[in-house]
Chain A
């Protein structure tokens, strides 16, 4: 055990992991976190707490992580490279660990130009790959990036993201390999819609022996509407939404589009359960937390194993 988090135990025991996501509020009301947490509790092994996602200011990821712990959830503390330099990152890692955080997810972060402070200085002192390596060095060597010893090293289960779809496709698997050599323990992928391309990515990763070295959780986001599918296809960088998905949603009965979206997600999850090298699913039900119990139920991932 590297960190002893629930997520790590689930994966180590060979269970098919199921993780969720919770976006902190655009304000200081802790109850908003608690309300969302209620829908996730008992239905996921760990929940990603996003860090100023889409470059919009929100309650800090570590503070919301602590509220999640108090609410009975295990957080997966997200940290982006956009807003902090290496000093701030390391001190936040120490603080989060001291307060009970055991998983973290290392991300570059959406560019500040997308968000509500496009004039901000983007820090990017280190990149997501270097953040993985820093967290690993802190944990395994007990040293800060600067080389000094850490009195009580933070033992975190280290995650990162992977986008199997963005071009150049041939390079994606090598980038995954790089994250593994930087020290990542688990990967959560970008939302998957193009199953054919994803299968190819997984095949290549298996061929290179990568999925024996890292736990790969397949990213799933159910489509709520045709509009959402079209938006994801055309407006979200790095997202690959095949026309079949849009057609299938368009073909759904009136009032049943969201249901069709969940159905597609559940079919994907069924396939992931059987796909060699896939260790679990990361469900990103964006601002749809209240649907998580139903999705988890229909995906056949309940009850969550106790480890």
Chain B
């Protein structure tokens, strides 16, 4: 899932300082699962902002609502009848959702309440770790299911570098060396031949905005 973290209240307050009537929109998918921008967090942020603005003697009329997915037109539609009359929209969705909202309501300022952080896994309640950089050319098949682009601090395709430190990355002891893990796993599986050959330079495909149209589908006119 996409993991995000909420921006500090002061930053959000600053973004909203010129607006008196704000709609705060949560998203019920990834950011809800990672406890950042779902229904509950929308309520908490609305209450925080309401209180903070009162204390600043600059009250705000803020209303919260959460839709299933901000990255999906079908669900955004539900907002069409609500946005009227708001000076600004605050979005608690990931960067994709925020942009989709801004695209739908181009006359209204749409502002981010979260920082989109990574594509990751749920290690425990409230504990998430990054696993994928969506590079568009997955090498997990040859690297024992450990992503060198994401999990190696240098994104090496021919690791490990000389800085690997008893299984840790040179950047810090707590960070496992991705290439050490790759080696260990492939060795156990008897598949070290997967990484024995030199891997040539990567053709980066994530340097321009990407579009995907599934086979059998077309982009509507």
Contacts and interface: CB of A to CB of B under 8 A. Distances in A.
Contacts of A113: 153, 171
A134 B201 contact: yes
Interface stretch (A3-11, A35-43, A160-168): A160-168
Given A127-B157, A130-B201, A178-B198, A237 B183 contact: no
Interface residues of B, number: 30
Contact of B162 (A122, A133, A161, A168): A161
Contacts of A109: 154
B163 to A, nearest CB: 4
Top 4 A-B pairs ranked by shortest CB distance? A163-B162, A129-B158, A237-B170, A237-B163
Given A111-B154, A126-B202, A130-B200, A168 B183 contact: yes
Interface string B134-170: 0000000000000000000111111111111111001
Contact of A178 (B154, B196, B202, B204): B196
A181 B160 contact: no
Contacts of B154: 81-82, 108-109, 111, 122, 124, 127
Contact of B201 (A86, A108, A111, A181): A86
Contact of B164 (A82, A86, A177, A237): A237
B211 interface: no
Nearest to A174: B196
Contacts of B162: 108, 161-163, 166, 190, 237-238
A19 B154 CA distance: 28
Interface string A123-161: 011111110011000000000010000000000000001
Interface string B85-123: 000000000000000000000000000000000000000
B164 A111 contact: no
A111 B158 contact: no
Q: Which of A110, A129, A166, A182: most chain B CB closer than 10 A?
A: A166
Given A81-B154, A166-B165, A238-B162, A110 B196 contact: no
A288 interface: no
Interface of B: 153-167, 170-171, 180, 183-184, 187, 192, 196-202, 204
B183 A111 contact: no
B165 A238 contact: yes
B170 A167 contact: no
A174 B194 CA distance: 12
Nearest to B172: A113
A181 B163 CA distance: 22
B136 to A, nearest CB: 15
Interface in A186-231: 190
A126 B165 contact: no
A130 B166 contact: no
Interface of A: 81-82, 86, 108-111, 113-114, 122, 124-130, 133-134, 145, 161-163, 166-168, 171, 174-175, 177-178, 181-182, 190, 237-238
Q: Which of B158, B180, B183: most chain A CB closer than 10 A?
A: B158
Q: Which of B153, B162, B197: most chain A CB closer than 10 A?
A: B162
A110 B165 CA distance: 13
A134 B158 CA distance: 14
B197 A111 contact: no
Given A129-B198, A175-B158, 11 more contacts: A111-B153, A125-B202, A127-B155, A127-B157, A128-B158, A130-B199, A163-B161, A166-B163, A178-B197, A182-B158, A238-B170
A238 B201 contact: no
Contacts of B160: 166, 168, 171, 175
A110 B170 contact: yes
Contacts of B198: 129, 133, 178, 181-182
A237 B165 CA distance: 5
Given A126-B202, A168-B180, A178-B196, A238 B157 contact: no
B171 A111 contact: yes
A178 B158 contact: yes
7 contacts: A109-B154, A111-B154, A125-B204, A127-B158, A129-B157, A168-B183, A178-B158
